[in-house]
Amino acid sequence: MTADYDFASAEPHWQRIWDERGCFAVADDDPGDTRTKYYVLEMFPYPSGKIHMGHVRNYTLGDVVARLRRAQGHAVLHPMGWDAFGLPAENAARERGVHPADWTWGNIAHMRAELKRMGLSIDWSREFATCDPAYYGQQQRLFLDFLRAGFAERRDAWVNWDPVDGTVLANEQVIDGRGWRSGAPVEKKKLSQWFLRITDEAPALLAALDGLDRWPARVRQMQANWIGRSEGAEIEFPLDQPEGAITAVEVYSTRPDTLFGMSFLAISPEHPLAAAVAARDPATAAFIAECRRLGTSEAAIEAAEKRGHDTGLRVRHPFLPDASFPVWIANFVLMEYGTGAVFGCPAHDQRDLDFVRRYGLPVVPVVLPPGADAARFAIDDVAYTGPGTIFHSDFLDGLDVDAAKRAAIAALEARGSGRGVVNWRLRDWGVSRQRYWGCPIPVIHCAACGIVPVPVAELPVVLPHDVDFSRPGNPLDLHPSWPNVACPSCGGPARRETDTFDTFVDSAWYFARFASPHAAEPVRRAAADRWLPVDQYIGGIEHAILHLLYSRFFTRAMRATGHVGLDEPFAGLFTQGMVTHASYRAADGGWLYPEEVDLRADGGAVERAGGGAVTVGRVEAMSKSKRNTVDPGAIIARYGADTARWFILSDNPPERDMEWTETGVAGAWRFVRRLHRLVEAIAVLPAAPKPDRFGAAATALRRTTHRSIAAVSAALDSFAFNVAVARIHEFASALADAEMADAAEPGLAWARREAGATVALLIGPMMPHLAETLHAALNPSAGTLIAELPWPEADPELLEQQSVTIAVQIMGRLRGTVAMPPDAPPEAVIAAAASEDNVARLLAGKRIVKRIHVPNRIVNFVVTG
RNA sequence: GCCCAGGUGGCGGAAUUGGUAGACGCGCAGGUUUCAGGUACCUGUGGCCGCAAGGCUGUGGAAGUUCGAGUCUUCUCCUGGGCACCA
């Protein structure tokens, strides 16, 4: 009888050994290392205070990949760092009087210790935090390069202003008209801001998605939708009477084929023409004010409500010299998209139709659906947007929709009143934030010289430590001395930029910094060339658009400025599911933590303290507000890191949401002990040279061993970690069977030692500590580590089957099975199948019209009568 | 509204990509061990009929292709996610 596996002493022991031996360290650039590189990266954490189960899942998945690739002979880069700037640190400062830096560094220290207890194969010598001047100073340098190369610019722009956080938000950070973090309705404000010109890269970013064949299709789809390419025409509509300096309205349309169906022109309330009319017309001004008051969020709620205001202006039609159309201001026209103006063709656009039904404007159908009667076709309440033949449209008559688009664009271009254009939904990336805890934007504003970049020699621009959070607003702006500097250009008094970068800038290049984390430049080129791209990136689907798109853009800008030599940062992407848990409510409606609840066998639950009634709620993503969280630290203390890792991997496929259950972890812990006991029993067997002869049980075990190698390798290679776990369970059952077999059988002891050594190697990526413990037990004096041993190879001879089970069907229904040698001649297989007892009984009196034989799989008799 | 995923036992999920559906785990039932057990081990476990042999049925639903469909085709229902006055 052996003692239970003592993970509490084994896990720290192996972690120390790995650390002492430097098992996971790699060089930035070592020409002597001829191994193929493999860069595994999990999205780095925000140091919020404690790690949560989502982190545990993320880093477990990455560690399996890293350890597997290392064993398979790759030089593996597997780093860790901290996405350490951000608003929660400032909130902590305002709410609790802790300095953001102290709060952040304290959290990092705590979370680093927690992560280390997981036994991850990380090269900790590469660790950095984005709030360290050593990192953000290099980011400032990158920005100056981008500025020089034209990737960054400052301009006035309508911005999304979050009134609660008191800062600007990128379009990507506005969700349903509300700030992504505060949830407050976003306001429109015009401010001078720094922008990164991501729209210049829109065509390249879209085109390159096709090459990302190791990305999930849906992430590529989401990015493509976000970039939002559309083809159409820009059309100029001259005003009948000029409005001040404005003589025409420019419109973007994807449907120039429907120009003859126009009944009005609509402009956005923010359009310059609207402002010009409002300057002289109070009714127009009132309508614009009302639109602004309703704001984005109200507009979202009342999405169906189309409102308009007739300006009294009229425009001329490019193809109808005698006709003119009214110009309306309409609340559904967005200034941000296209030109901020549309021509309304109500017959073939639902919004336009809703609008004219409200305001009584005409509806002229110009696309005739296939098979419809031109004399009787009419539009009712539903616009027709499908294919068809153009009619009522002069020179476009008879063309189909696509041909008419081309013809209309050609005619517009010929007349000089329009042209074909490609439009993008993607906006430039506003990166200015009115915050303290972020990377200072390294420029200086000089009254005489304008915007002056901080000289590289003066970088980093370091955040001042002595800031005052007692007043609202940006503490940098309020700082008594920090903003005041001499202009680097003229030496006169000047003022620092007090905005800091959006934290998405910090995470848009950190993967490149990991290649040479201590370099005196942003990225050392040789190191970047050695390690980039990231071969396998792993993280949550919530970053499918923002972070991944920004990183792709940054990589292109870094290439253009000579920092890296590639376009795409992430060759492979894996998006993991969330960790969920049932939620519990006490009788008074308050949420309860899982450890406050006792589950009963009938599925009900009671409060552990007092036995009060508990309602078991939905299984949903772990969140503090629902209290359905499980603390990884407590789980690791109770069961060990390997058990937690094993459960996370075994429950379900990693891309899906997994449910954390107490019974599941307990089951994983049971298996850990079972495997430990099985291998301990093997470790006491005498070691002996490989025998010449193996008995039946020994041979069966050896076949299982080598089949397990093949099956587990295939499963791990394809991210089917739950299947790998299942195969190891089967392997363990075979180990238990061998324990019961006749010990005197030739070769059994050797086969069992082989099996034990193999199982230790196979669990290595998933349960690294247990693997080392088993390996050490089997090889007490070897001094080798699983972490340094190569991945096992399956012996092809032992993978060959001596016998295959052939399913026998009659009319496609299973009626029996027969065992045959592999690749037996078809006639022999069919004869054996036909004489199987049950099959023979059912075939009696029937005429066989066809015999189907699929080698090593199936025989099917097609019969009549 | 548009675009993605996904519907398989009581539960999580397997299924060599058209060839024995339900691997493996959880749960449950029966048993063995134990002073005891939130222990360990063994056996069983899709549903219906049957003592059994075996039969029928079964992968959200309907139709189709095929000797054979969880897998392919068409339609349809449901669930989850993303986007959305995008002209």
Gap from A541 CA to B18 C1', Å: 33
Check residue A711 and give its pLDDT.
Answer: 94
Q: Is the CB of A226 under 7 A from strand B?
A: yes
Asked if A753 and A690 count as a contact pair (C-beta separation under 8 A), the reply is no
Residue lying closest to nucleotide B26, CA to C1':
A664
Q: Is the CB of A760 under 7 A from strand B?
A: no
Residue A352's nearest nucleotide, by CA–C1', is: B87
Check residue A687 and give its pLDDT.
Answer: 86
What's the rounded Cα separation, in Å, for the pair A166 and A469?
Answer: 13
Q: Is the CB of A296 under 7 A from strand B?
A: no
Amino acid at position A496, single letter: R
Q: Is the CB of A340 under 7 A from strand B?
A: yes
Q: Is the CB of A857 under 7 A from strand B?
A: yes
Question: Which residue matches tokens 């990166």?
Answer: A431
Chain A window 384-443, residues with Cβ within 7 A of nucleic strand B? 425
Query: Of A423, A432, A551, A430, whose CA–CA distance to A171 is shortest?
Result: A430
Residue A303's nearest nucleotide, by CA–C1', is: B85
Gap from A420 CA to B80 C1', Å: 40
Q: Is the CB of A670 under 7 A from strand B?
A: yes
Which bases of chain B come closer than 7 Å to a protein CB? 3-5, 12-16, 19-21, 23-28, 38-42, 53-56, 67-69, 81-87
Check residue A301 and give its pLDDT.
Answer: 42
Check residue A616 and give its pLDDT.
Answer: 76
Q: Is the CB of A255 under 7 A from strand B?
A: yes
Asked if A348 and A366 count as a contact pair (C-beta separation under 8 A), the reply is yes
Residue A806's nearest nucleotide, by CA–C1', is: B20
Q: Which residues on adjacent β-strands are paired with residue A424?
A: A229
Q: Is the CB of A758 under 7 A from strand B?
A: no
- 3-class SS of residue A388: coil
Chain A window 697-756, residues with Cβ within 7 A of nucleic strand B? 720, 722-723, 725-726, 729-730, 733, 736
Q: Is the CB of A856 under 7 A from strand B?
A: no
What's the rounded Cα separation, in Å, for the pair A395 and A411?
Answer: 10
Check residue A299 and give its pLDDT.
Answer: 42
Compute CA distances A280 → A238, A273, A284, A286, A737, whole Å.
20, 12, 9, 12, 93
Q: Which residues on adjacent β-strands are paired with residue A77?
A: A39
Asked if A823 and A856 count as a contact pair (C-beta separation under 8 A), the reply is yes
Chain A window 233-252, residues with Cβ within 7 A of nucleic strand B? 252
What's the rounded Cα separation, in Å, for the pair A13 and A37?
Answer: 29
Structure tokens at A233: 């025409």
Residue A254's nearest nucleotide, by CA–C1', is: B87
Query: Of A308, A399, A401, whose CA–CA distance to A348 is shortest?
Result: A401
H-assigned helices in A691-767: 696-717, 721-740, 748-763
Check residue A294 and give its pLDDT.
Answer: 62
Exposure of A125 in the CB half-sphere (CA atoms within 13 A):
14
Compute CA distances A735 → A702, A730, A791, whole Å.
10, 9, 20
Check residue A298 and give its pLDDT.
Answer: 41
Compute CA distances A629 → A147, A593, A642, A647, whole Å.
45, 7, 20, 16
Asked if A263 and A325 count as a contact pair (C-beta separation under 8 A), the reply is yes
Chain A window 783-842, residues with Cβ within 7 A of nucleic strand B? 805, 807, 809, 811-817, 837-838, 842
Residue lying closest to nucleotide B14, CA to C1':
A723
Averaged in consecutive runs of 10 residues, what is the pLDDT profile of chain A (865 residues)?
77 96 94 93 93 93 96 97 92 89 97 96 97 97 96 84 74 66 73 90 90 87 87 93 92 93 92 93 90 55 70 94 92 86 91 88 90 84 84 92 92 92 87 92 95 95 92 85 95 94 94 97 96 94 86 96 96 90 80 78 71 76 81 91 94 88 89 92 89 90 94 93 94 90 86 95 96 94 93 92 88 89 90 90 87 92 83
- 3-class SS of residue A865: coil
Question: Which residue matches tokens 């009619």?
Answer: A391
Gap from A220 CA to B18 C1', Å: 30
Gap from A593 CA to B44 C1', Å: 36
